[in-house]
């Protein structure tokens, strides 16, 4: 994906498109967010992960300006979402979990209609809206452009949702569980689309997902939200490295299976061969997967371990 020096679409290079400091949210007496800190930069794809009820939707809705926070500092495209106006809203895109409307309209007509709203928000650096034919092509809906929306399949409908979210050529896009219900091909197409948006348009993207494989494939950076705050912030690789010091070595000898957990897999295997030579069979060395890492992090923070593994920002 893009590097910071390539950014041009989102304004001043290097300035975060999202900046969150000490964000708190209380529902009644229940503190859901106790101090959330993170940033998103232009052209960056950031994935917000966390168990159900962790506060992912709450966080995203605060950034979108749909929910008022209890405390903390939030800047989105340089403004406070709690007070930002229409011109700001025209610069962000939102794809909600589901959106049902206009069943008798066609994708082309809906996109044309919605696009009209953004004309007034064109800038010299960013013409708005997206040209409808080009957008239909981008999301893979050319063949279905003139069908009634009510007759689209689930995957096609979801691609239309994305088109609706990006018709105004947003500088920042929020995607809440964007591929829920997608088949593997639709999922792959969607991932390509996200990469195109971040690479070619410089769009910053913040998405939530439950699917770790998806997060790994899509995100430049992952944020893990648990116990009211961000317990990990880094690339998939960095996250795995942080917790995955331990490897599991499995082998069999004389028909018996053995398993050994070690932080020093290579010397261990060397010693194993020195000791047993050709008797060793079926050797396997397995590093913790991202899923193991994620589960370990969430479990550590939920069990109240205040020093759950926290990553320093890790550059790509």
Nearer to ligand ADP, 57 or 246 (CB): 57
How far apart are the C-alpha atoms of 218 and 92, rounded to whole Å?
20
Nearer to ligand ADP, 57 or 310 (CB): 57
Tell the smallest beta-carbon distance from residue 225 to ligand ADP (Å).
7
Buried b (16+ CB within 10 A) or exposed e, 220-239: bbbbbbbbbbbbbbbbbebb
Tell the smallest beta-carbon distance from residue 49 to ligand ADP (Å).
9
Coil vs helix vs strand at 250: strand
Token look-up 């942080």 returns: 242
Tell the smallest beta-carbon distance from residue 182 to ligand ADP (Å).
19
Nearer to ligand ADP, 280 or 295 (CB): 295
Nearer to ligand ADP, 50 or 81 (CB): 50
Please give the C-alpha separations between residue 57 and each of 46, 134, 148, 225, 298, in angstroms, as whole numbers.
15, 31, 31, 11, 17
Where do contacts with ligand ADP occur on this chain (CB under 6 A)? 27, 32, 50, 52-58
Q: How many CB atoms lie within 10 A of CB 178?
A: 26
Nearer to ligand ADP, 53 or 255 (CB): 53
DSSP state of 123: B
Tell the smallest beta-carbon distance from residue 267 to ligand ADP (Å).
42
Tell the smallest beta-carbon distance from residue 29 to ligand ADP (Å).
11
């Amino acid at each position: 994906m893009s590097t910071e020096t390539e950014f041009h679409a989102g304004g001043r290079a290097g300035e975060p498109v999202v900046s969150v400091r000490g964000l708190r949210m209380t529902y009644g007496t229940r503190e859901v967010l106790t101090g959330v800190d993170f940033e998103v930069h232009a052209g960056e794809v950031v994935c917000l992960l966390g168990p159900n009820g962790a506060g992912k939707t709450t966080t995203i809705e605060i950034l979108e300006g749909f929910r008022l926070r209890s405390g903390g500092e939030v800047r989105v495209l340089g403004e406070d979402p709690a007070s930002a106006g229409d011109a700001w809203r025209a610069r962000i895109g939102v794809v909600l979990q589901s959106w049902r409307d206009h069943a008798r309209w066609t994708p082309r007509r809906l996109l044309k209609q919605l696009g009209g709203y953004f004309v007034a928000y064109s800038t010299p650096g960013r013409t708005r809206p997206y040209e409808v034919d080009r957008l239909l092509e981008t999301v893979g809906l050319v063949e279905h452009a003139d069908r009634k929306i009510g007759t689209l399949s689930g995957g096609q409908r979801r691609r239309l949702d994305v088109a609706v979210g990006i018709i105004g050529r947003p500088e920042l896009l929020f995607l809440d569980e964007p591929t829920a219900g997608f088949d593997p091909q639709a999922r792959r197409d969607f991932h390509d689309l996200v990469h195109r948006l971040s690479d070619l348009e410089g769009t910053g993207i913040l998405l939530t997902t439950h699917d770790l494989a998806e997060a790994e494939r899509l995100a430049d950076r992952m944020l893990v939200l648990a116990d009211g705050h961000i317990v990990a912030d880094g690339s998939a690789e960095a996250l795995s490295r942080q917790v995955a010091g331990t490897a599991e070595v499995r082998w069999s000898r004389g028909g018996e299976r053995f398993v050994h957990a070690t932080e020093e897999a290579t010397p261990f295997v060397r010693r194993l061969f020195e000791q047993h030579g050709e008797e060793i069979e079926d050797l396997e060395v397995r590093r913790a997967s991202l899923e193991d890492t994620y589960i370990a992090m969430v479990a550590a923070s939920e069990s109240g371990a205040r020093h759950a593994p926290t990553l320093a920002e890790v550059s790509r």
